[in-house]
Structure 1
């Protein structure tokens, strides 16, 4: 995705919200930020995960092992675009209209915004691993007896190689959206959702009605100071190919992130509390009763 610049909010927000995190419901599983954080750790332990790298192969196995262990149907979608070979990964569960929840799993091959090490690969703690971690924890906790949708967890490849040797952005999601045999009712993208100083503004391309529903849920759950209902960025990201097909889509992203596309995108910048906030908002959206929330 492409970015600009913006002022940061203080870490005081993190402390205030952490004091009023919603408690887990009685019985059953609920999204646990500590579990999601462990998925971030595991991905970083695999090394860089740009297409063709050993870490890229390893993270695909990691994703498949986790989602199949949780009982999700799993599929690999190979593709070739702009001279690059990639693989989208899809996990499916539930019944009803299709809801896509997506994240990219590739990391950037070169940290071209790094002032000192621009040729090194990006570790991708936030830009890559955080979104994957949210999807993997959702695979564990979603109550299939309460799903309003057939949920597709889609791990997109080759999102983050844009601008390197002339490569376009969002190759995996572009291929996926163009080849879908079923039209989803909506799409939710999570990208860069682990920053310890979170500020989730409205992404300007995102579908307004669906965006407002998700931010309203965040406020109901006590995350209103993190989910700020004001427009900021207009981004090239994996939700765009769905919007271009007329599918309501939202990008949940904290783009006020100084470590973006640098070697400083490391584990120490990731907060389990932020991962948990994002995961619980999506969990609540997916499992709400139809009369509680209008359909997207």
Structure 2
């Protein structure tokens, strides 16, 4: 019997990174039921992510937290934090984040969240694998956050535990499925980071992918005909509030966002991997 991942790889994605494919498929599978925070599906997803980090040689810690859910109740969330022992333990940290929660299941309607944000978690694991054996100038910390959809609660809790003086940068990964008709990756940066990294990010562009760096919500909104405060759009906002520099990588607008159609069928894994190779190249330069 051919598994779902094998079938996908053999039909148009033969050269895509197997782990990228498999991680997205696993996170969007029916057993995870859309990964809604405080559900069995989210618990299974967190367990899977922790196991993947351990297999890559990382030490894994879990951050349990509670947050207000409605007027009279609390919900429980769970961040997964992966770090590798290194001679750079006293160095400043670069913290990578990607939220693994999504909308879950509403009646018979399942919201798989392939782009939002199984793609970001697969990207997080890809980068953890890429840098697993590479000594760096900074200590790299990889965090799969929970309860982003409900109000950035996981990243807020994470930042509350940090000594901000020891953090170099946050790199947030959210919605990285490249649109083949407009193959672009957008890097939204705080103004403090923009001068340092804008040219390096733009230099990642090639004939296959375009990388654009900006700190202007207005500029992105003109491109997508939206009205979004991109500074507050994902987990990087928790770092922004603490005055920690950040870079948010994503594709911007996706017509399948928060729809039941956000499935693996709409992922071009070849372009997804190409984007991740470029982002890894940027991080190598930044962290070396």
Same fold per superposition (TM over 0.5): yes
Residues 1:58 and 1:267: Cα distance change in structure 2 (over 3 Å): same
Bigger mean CA offset, 42-51 vs 148-157: 42-51
Number of aligned residues? 246
Tell me the residue number matched to 1:92: 83
Contact 1:217 / 1:284 at 8 angstroms: preserved in 2? no
User: For the residues of structure 1 that align with 2:116 and 2:75, how far apart are their CA atoms?
Assistant: 20
- Aligned residue runs from structure 1 range 60-99, under 5 A: 60-82=46-68, 83-93=74-84, 94=86, 95=88, 96-99=91-94
Contact 1:204 / 1:232 at 8 angstroms: preserved in 2? no
Residue 137 of structure 2 corresponds to residue 148 of structure 1: yes
Tell me the residue number matched to 2:23: 39
Residue 185 of structure 2 corresponds to residue 200 of structure 1: yes
Match of 1:267 among 261, 264, 268: 264
Tell me the residue number matched to 1:277: 274
- Structure possessing the higher relative contact order (Cα contacts under 8 Å, 6 or more residues apart): 1
Unaligned runs of 5+ in 2: 1-15, 69-73, 222-228
Tell me the residue number matched to 1:175: 157
Q: 1:251 Cα deviation (Å)?
A: 0.9
Unaligned runs of 5+ in 1: 1-31, 112-116, 162-168
Q: TM-score, normalised by structure 1?
A: 0.74
User: For the residues of structure 2 that align with 1:69 and 1:202, how far apart are their CA atoms?
Assistant: 30
Tell me the residue number matched to 1:130: 119
Q: 1:143 Cα deviation (Å)?
A: 4.8
Bigger mean CA offset, 279-288 vs 92-101: 279-288
Tell me the residue number matched to 2:239: 242
User: For the residues of structure 2 that align with 1:205 and 1:178, how far apart are their CA atoms?
Assistant: 20
Q: Secondary structure at the match of 2:259?
A: coil
